[in-house]
Structure 1
Amino acid sequence: MDKKLQRSWMMYDWANSAFATTIMAAVFPVFYESVAAVTLAEGTATSYFSFTQSIAVLIAAVLAPVLGAIADFSAAKMKFLKFFAFMGMTASVLLVTVNEGDYILASILFIIASVGFSGGNVFYDAFLPSVAKKEEIDRVSTSGFAFGYIGGGLLLAVNLLMITQYEMFGFPNEKVASQLAFVSVGLWWFIFSIPLFKNVKEEKSEQKVRQKSYVKIGFSRIGDTFKTLRHYKQLLIFILAFWMFSDGISTIIRMATFYGATIGIDSNDLIAALLITQFVGIPCTFFFSKLAKWITAKKALTFALSIYVVIVILGYFMESALHFYLLAICVGFVQGGAQALSRSIFARMVPRNKQAEFFGFYGITSKFAAILGPAVFGFAALLTESSRLGILSLLIFFVAGITLLQFVNIEQGEREAKAAEDPSDIVNVQVK
């Protein structure tokens, strides 16, 4: 497969990971707590931030499968990718307008940017089987995440320097430095998306006659997805497993910094620890690509999820910045590998003619799961005035996900996907 095409695809991970690091994980949670929601009580600020996260993923979850189905029908994955990417870029830049007490504006802009980020990823992920052969999928998928760690980590390093040494950059205070960090995310996202937009093309497909609106087509195809999913037993089991463990992973990504801030860890320590996560993740993501070859992708993913169980338990007892640094290293070790292997395993079991549709379903699986974790933190903060107990709930999701994963037969799933090219073969696959 064309290496230039694969690198162009990977560069989008480099580009949009700036949003995941600077806005989603590091700077925005601290900025929300110390600036946007500074007029609110601690418990109220925590719940508002948590509910903002849940609303963002709820909207993305509802949109993802519909847009994926529409993109498959219209052969317009790239158009939709650009639309959502530009939405996320613009909203990220507009966060510069948020000031003290503007928690509603901050929440709205974050929700819009998150929808752009998540919506774009549906179509970006759907291009994976088009740019990589079967034997290359694990390598290309994990390399994409590694590119993301590098790109997101580099910009986060610059932003951390801007915020901690704001006077050196000529900024009056940390607030202004943080606001300009948001602007840098939008610009970074745009510039490094250009290779993907320029070089990755839509696969040629037979023109389909459209006799009803794309919205009706989208909902109709989602209904068909639910109906036909029974033909892909292994894919269905994996989706259930993914739904469980991705809840835990997503919650850790979205809430770690805010959680650390509420228990008194300094904002600079929080951002620095997440920067460490990024750069630890670079070699470790490549390591999991090799590990998948040595012991199979399923066993490598199981190993990564087991480490998350340890992280959750230790996170409950976290007291100091040193603890947060150590846990950040542990997260960096497994985060990219777990996400990349999940994506590549799923891609192996997806029929080629339903890539965007099924990746949309993949998206809704992770996004609906991601609603519950932040909501747990929000309700815990309101009811107990402490978010510490909420983290233990994540154990349920990781243990359940690991257990379900053991029942997935990836090779059988690949045969089921291939049989979809000839529906008459599906029965034969299930009988074997």
Structure 2
Amino acid sequence: MGLLTAPAAVDKREYWGFSLYDWANSGYVTTVGTVLFAPYLTSVAETAACGRVGTTEDPCHTNLQILGLGISPGSLAFYAVTLATLISALFLPVVGAIADRSANKKLLMCSFAWVGALSACSMVFVEGGRWALGTLLLVIANICLGSSLVVYDSILIDIAPPDERDEVSSRAWAFGYLGGFILLAINLGVVTAHDALGMSQGTAVRLSLLSAGLWWGLFTIIPYLKLRNRPPASVVPVGGNLIRQSFGQLFATLKHVRTYPMTLLFLVAYLFFNDGIQTVISVSSTYGEKQLGFETQVLIMTILLVQFVAFFGALAFGRFARRYGSQRTIMGGLVIWMLIVIAGFMLPAEQIAPFLAMGLAIGIVLGGTQALSRSAFSQLIPKGREAEYFSLYQAGERGTSWLGTLVFGLVHQLTGSYRPAIVALGLFFLIGLVLLSRVDMRRGITEAGNTQPTLV
């Protein structure tokens, strides 16, 4: 079965529509969220605080003043991600409840995507001392990304039967990494050749941020055209308008939360290990630049390697899941993640080969653990509450993790070093692994009233 061929039980048009939204938003996730914006915003904040950009030998120790609080410029981007996720904790469950009652899911998904893409495009104006504008745009874009993904993930249940979800989810992640790789490769050329193109490196970075927003917005048109809407099914009967019904559905789910203990245990496990994954992704470029002393071009080339390897890693994990089950495959990936953060703590500064080796290891497990987590969780969701449960799931999804970035930022502020901050993330993978091992998938699927797949 080829990557370009839809599984037999999945409509071809919807397969492409679903897969290409991963392609679309990965332009933002990779270029903005993973590589360029955190170190760029840090440099803008350092310039505002210290009048210069900090270096490994001469870091900026002057804090920004925000509402009377002293904020380290090196921690600003991570606190911004934390703020976005705290807001999302209140906002996304309502989005999910509305989506479950909506007869036009694809418009809801694409509307959030287009607002997020506009915010990403506006990052081209972040320069000089405009760190506050950059922080605001990052918060808006991350909230919109999470909101669009709440609806997007729930569509997986609509288009793929239980036995096909691991495959469809893994392939969509693979398409995402391919799209992110292509855009990042283009941006690498722009940033690397900025002198030849007659622009400063800062201008090249800002144009790359603009390109990510355009990529996200324009390619979202394809899912809008190819996905089809379905009427709401099995929703909780609540009176009132759509907003009141949505809050009523959310409260009903929280009231009966004990009915689905395996679903909730999986969700808690995912919250921990995905916070670790997301934090490693979001801090990797800052860690490489500020702690290990690499130039932006080296960081982009490393992320390109990660993206390229992740394309094959996502497909490989899908095949492992067909043989060993998604739960055991995810657990194996978490063991590798723990080894990665330990290796990251010991990486020597300004030595490219070990840094590239760590990037290779990240690429192998990155897409697979996330893709299989999405498809495994979809098996545990009771009918009629798909988007609502995925809104809780998105609290720990890419670009919206909060506990990991908070811990990373606090450890850096307390120690003045990113090394203890990176190794502290190993605790998230360990806790997630222990909790996931206690999830009885068969029991959870039965409790949710879903059809049992052949292998879990």
Partner of 1:358: 389
2:421 is aligned with 1:412:
no
For residues 230-250 of structure 1, the C-alpha deviation after alignment (integer angstroms, 9 at most, x for no partner) is: 112221221121111111011
For residues 215-262 of structure 1, the C-alpha deviation after alignment (integer angstroms, 9 at most, x for no partner) is: 433333222222222112221221121111111011111111112222
- 1:304 pairs with one of 312, 327, 333: 333
Task: State the 1:380 CA deviation.
Answer: 2.1
Task: State the 1:122 CA deviation.
Answer: 0.6
Q: Retained in 1: the 8 A contact 2:274–2:397?
A: yes
- Over 3 Å counting, the alpha-carbon distance change for 1:256 and 1:366 in structure 2 is same
- 2:223 pairs with one of 196, 218, 227: 196
2:216 is aligned with 1:185:
no
- Over 3 Å counting, the alpha-carbon distance change for 1:206 and 1:303 in structure 2 is closer
Partner of 1:371: 402
Higher helix share: 1
Query: 1:384 corresponds to which letter in structure 2?
Result: T
- 1:383 pairs with one of 409, 414, 438: 414
2:355 is aligned with 1:327:
no
- Over 3 Å counting, the alpha-carbon distance change for 1:144 and 1:370 in structure 2 is same
In the alignment, the residues of structure 2 paired with residue 361 and residue 75 of structure 1 have an alpha-carbon distance, to the nearest angstrom, of: 21
Q: Retained in 1: the 8 A contact 2:171–2:314?
A: yes
**Secondary structure at 1:352's aligned position in 2?**
coil
Partner of 2:95: 67
In the alignment, the residues of structure 2 paired with residue 214 and residue 90 of structure 1 have an alpha-carbon distance, to the nearest angstrom, of: 27
Partner of 1:427: none
Task: State the 1:188 CA deviation.
Answer: 1.1
2:279 is aligned with 1:280:
no
For residues 379-422 of structure 1, the C-alpha deviation after alignment (integer angstroms, 9 at most, x for no partner) is: 223222222212222122111111111111222222222269xx
In the alignment, the residues of structure 1 paired with residue 355 and residue 240 of structure 2 have an alpha-carbon distance, to the nearest angstrom, of: 53
Task: State the 1:363 CA deviation.
Answer: 1.6
For residues 72-109 of structure 1, the C-alpha deviation after alignment (integer angstroms, 9 at most, x for no partner) is: 12334223212210111100110111112211111111
In the alignment, the residues of structure 2 paired with residue 211 and residue 57 of structure 1 have an alpha-carbon distance, to the nearest angstrom, of: 30
Query: 1:85 corresponds to which letter in structure 2?
Result: A
Query: 1:276 corresponds to which letter in structure 2?
Result: L
- Over 3 Å counting, the alpha-carbon distance change for 1:115 and 1:262 in structure 2 is same
Matches within 5 A, 1:219-298: 219-263=247-291, 264-298=293-327
The alignment-based identity, stated in percent, is 33
Q: Retained in 2: the 8 A contact 1:16–1:189?
A: yes
For residues 134-181 of structure 1, the C-alpha deviation after alignment (integer angstroms, 9 at most, x for no partner) is: 11100000001000000011000100111001244x341111111111
For residues 338-382 of structure 1, the C-alpha deviation after alignment (integer angstroms, 9 at most, x for no partner) is: 000100000111123211111112123548982111112222232
Q: What 5-or-longer segments of structure 1 have no aligned partner?
A: 421-432
TM-score of the superposition, structure 2-length normalised?
0.87
- 1:145 pairs with one of 159, 173, 191: 173
In the alignment, the residues of structure 2 paired with residue 177 and residue 6 of structure 1 have an alpha-carbon distance, to the nearest angstrom, of: 35
Q: What 5-or-longer segments of structure 2 have no aligned partner?
A: 1-9, 51-59, 62-71, 452-456
- 1:52 pairs with one of 80, 84, 95: 80
Q: Retained in 1: the 8 A contact 2:34–2:284?
A: yes
In the alignment, the residues of structure 2 paired with residue 120 and residue 191 of structure 1 have an alpha-carbon distance, to the nearest angstrom, of: 15
TM-score of the superposition, structure 1-length normalised?
0.92
Partner of 2:246: 218
Count of residue pairs the alignment pairs up:
419
Query: 2:27 corresponds to which letter in structure 1?
Result: A
Q: Retained in 2: the 8 A contact 1:36–1:99?
A: no
Task: State the 1:210 CA deviation.
Answer: 7.4
2:62 is aligned with 1:31:
no
The Cα RMSD (Å) is 2.1
Q: Retained in 1: the 8 A contact 2:118–2:217?
A: no
Q: Retained in 2: the 8 A contact 1:93–1:184?
A: yes
For residues 14-46 of structure 1, the C-alpha deviation after alignment (integer angstroms, 9 at most, x for no partner) is: 000001100000011222223454233535211
2:344 is aligned with 1:315:
yes
In the alignment, the residues of structure 2 paired with residue 404 and residue 172 of structure 1 have an alpha-carbon distance, to the nearest angstrom, of: 50
Q: Retained in 1: the 8 A contact 2:104–2:230?
A: no
